[in-house]
């Protein structure tokens, strides 16, 4: 029999090289996945607008209890919570919502008062062209149409914004 110690040593070097390559690959994948936070504010605003829309109208008709909803009880009636998590020691509100109702048949006649809830201080950054403010807040405005109980056409405009720059935008 011949001595095969040399071949075993060469195989173990290859084995450790393969293990190092696999470990480096896993490290790179984890770093790429967790290295940069995902900015989900635009999706968060869209979901918020959808929840608000279903709070006021369903199936193309304005709900019966819309008259009971105002700026004071909006969050409770629509089952929303604008409190933010205390991960980044954020004290101020991070959400803003403005909802207006317009009768299309008779624009002078107000269907419902404007509902405004949240922190309006950062909304000005939504309309700024300055590069410094691009990261501040994500704002979306959507309009949808519904029929009131007496078959009048109503346009509901929802303007919503989310700031959360500490958590999302780096």
**Rg for the chain (alpha carbons), in Å?**
27
* Interval 111-170: pLDDT, tens: 678 889 988 887 777 776 665 555 678 889 999 999 888 888 889 999 999 887 666 655
Whole-number percent of the chain with pLDDT over 90: 23
Most confident of 16-25, 56-65, 161-170: 16-25
pTM above 0.95, yes or no: no
In terms of pLDDT, which residue wins out, 4 or 94?
A: 94
pLDDT of residue 35: 79
Mean pLDDT of 98-117: 80
The neighbour count for residue 56, using CB atoms within 10 Å, is 22
**What pLDDT shows up at residue 65?**
83
Phi, psi of 119 (to 5 degrees): -95, 105
Edge-to-edge strands, sheet with 57-58: 57-58, 61-62, 138-147, 153-162, 95-103, 115-118
| pLDDT tens digits for range 32-50 | 888 776 778 889 899 999 9
- pLDDT attached to residue 160: 93
Confidence class for position 1, pLDDT limits 50, 70, 90: low
Q: pLDDT category, 13, cuts 50, 70, 90?
A: confident
Rounded to an integer, what distance in angstroms lies between the CA atom of residue 87 and that of residue 29? 25
Residue 101 has pLDDT above 90, yes or no: no
Quote the pLDDT of residue 135: 62
Q: What is the pLDDT of residue 51?
A: 93
């Amino acid at each position: 029999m011949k001595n095969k110690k040399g071949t075993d040593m060469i195989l173990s070097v290859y084995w450790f090289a393969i293990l190092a390559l696999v470990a480096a690959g896993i490290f790179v994948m984890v770093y790429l996945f967790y290295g940069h936070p995902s900015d989900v504010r635009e999706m968060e605003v869209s979901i918020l607008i959808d929840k608000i829309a279903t709070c006021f109208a369903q199936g193309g008709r304005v709900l019966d209890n819309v008259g009971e909803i105002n700026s004071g009880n909006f969050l409770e009636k629509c089952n929303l919570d604008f409190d933010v998590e205390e991960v980044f020691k954020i004290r101020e509100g991070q959400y803003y919502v403005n909802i207006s109702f317009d009768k299309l048949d008779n624009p002078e006649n107000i269907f419902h008062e404007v509902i405004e809830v949240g922190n309006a201080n950062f909304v000005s950054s939504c309309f700024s062209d300055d590069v410094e403010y691009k990261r501040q807040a994500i704002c979306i405005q959507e309009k949808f149409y519904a029929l009131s109980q007496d078959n009048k056409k109503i346009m509901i405009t929802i303007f919503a914004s989310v700031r959360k720059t500490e958590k999302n935008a780096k």
